Structure 1
Amino acid sequence: MLRHPDEMEIELAEKLRGGNGIVNNRHLFKKEELLAKARLVAVTTLPSGASIGFHRHEKEEEIYYIISGKGQVVDEDQTKEVYPGCAMLTGNGRGHSIINTGDEPLVFLAVILLFS
Structure 2
Amino acid sequence: MVKRMEDMALEIRERMRGGKGSVQIRHIFSQDELTGKCRLFAQVTLEPGCSIGIHNHDREEEIYYIISGKATVDDNGNVQELRPGDAVITGNGAYHAIENTGTENLVLMAVILLFD
Q: TM-score range by the shorter chain?
A: over 0.9
Which letter maps to 1:110?
A
State the match for 1:84 in structure 2.
Answer: 84
Are 1:54 and 2:47 matched, yes or no?
no
State the match for 1:40 in structure 2.
Answer: 40
State the match for 1:98 in structure 2.
Answer: 98
1:8-64 deviation per Cα after TM superposition (whole angstroms, max 9, x unaligned): 100100000000000000000010111001110000000000000011000000001
State the match for 2:13 in structure 1.
Answer: 13
CA RMSD in angstroms, aligned pairs only: 0.5
In the TM superposition, structure 1's runs of 4+ consecutive aligned residues that sit over 3 Å from their partners are: none
How far apart, in 2, do the equivalents of 1:24 and 1:5 lie?
14
Structure 2 unaligned residues grouped into runs of 5+: none
Which letter maps to 2:69?
G
Secondary structure in 2 matching 1:28: strand
State the match for 2:109 in structure 1.
Answer: 109
Deviation of 1:4 (Å): 1.2
- Count of residues in correspondence between the two structures: 116
Which letter maps to 1:72?
T
